[in-house]
């Protein structure tokens, strides 16, 4: 049995963004991401093979899309990003953790 608490066991040192796979089976992956001031690299975009549904559980973030206005996500906000839709994280909260729940699926 796989169990835990999404808000627990957050590393004290968040120099690097944390990616933790919670469930993975067939064409599904669910992960917790913990950011604290982290952003995507300035150059380039994520261009993923799978769809990604993502929700901000705590904190806030801004996601930019190629040739579109950025989307601000606050606690409870979610977005479904289609496969190959170019995007990147341009802002997360610098003083407190942003905890994401990401579901990657075909």
In tens, the pLDDT along 46-100 reads 999 999 999 999 999 999 999 999 999 999 999 999 999 999 999 999 999 999 9
Average pLDDT for residues 10-28, to the nearest whole number? 94
Burial of 25 (0-12, 13-18, 19+ CB in 10 A): exposed
**Which pTM was predicted?**
0.92
Residue whose pair of structure tokens reads 């610098």 in the numeric block: 94
Task: Tell whether 3 is covered by a domain.
Answer: no
Domain encompassing residue 30: 18-105
Q: What is the pLDDT of residue 72?
A: 98
Chain centre to alpha carbon of residue 25: 19
Number of domains observed in the structure of the chain: 1
Q: The CATH number of the domain where 52 resides is what? A: 2.60.120.10
Task: Tell whether 2 is covered by a domain.
Answer: no
Task: Tell whether 11 is covered by a domain.
Answer: no
Task: Tell whether 10 is covered by a domain.
Answer: no
Task: Tell whether 96 is covered by a domain.
Answer: yes
Measured between alpha carbons, how far is 61 from 84 in angstroms, rounded to an integer? 21
- Residue 42 in this model has a pLDDT that exceeds 90: no
Q: What is the pLDDT of residue 1?
A: 81
In sequence order, what are the beta bridge partners of 15?
A: none
Q: What is the pLDDT of residue 71?
A: 97
| Cβ atoms < 10 Å from Cβ of 72 | 13
Task: Tell whether 60 is covered by a domain.
Answer: yes
Task: Tell whether 1 is covered by a domain.
Answer: no
Task: Tell whether 58 is covered by a domain.
Answer: yes
Cross-sheet strand order for the sheet of 60-65: 71-74, 60-65, 87-92
């Amino acid at each position: 049995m796989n169990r835990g608490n999404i808000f627990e066991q957050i590393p004290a040192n968040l120099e690097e963004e944390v990616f933790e796979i919670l469930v993975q089976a067939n064409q599904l992956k669910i992960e917790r991401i913990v950011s604290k001031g982290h952003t995507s690299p300035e150059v380039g975009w994520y261009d993923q093979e799978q769809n990604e549904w993502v929700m901000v559980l705590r904190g806030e973030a801004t996601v930019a899309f190629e040739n579109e206005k950025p989307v601000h996500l606050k606690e409870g906000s979610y977005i479904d990003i289609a496969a190959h839709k170019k995007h990147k994280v341009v802002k997360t909260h610098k003083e407190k953790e942003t905890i994401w729940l990401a579901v990657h699926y075909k």
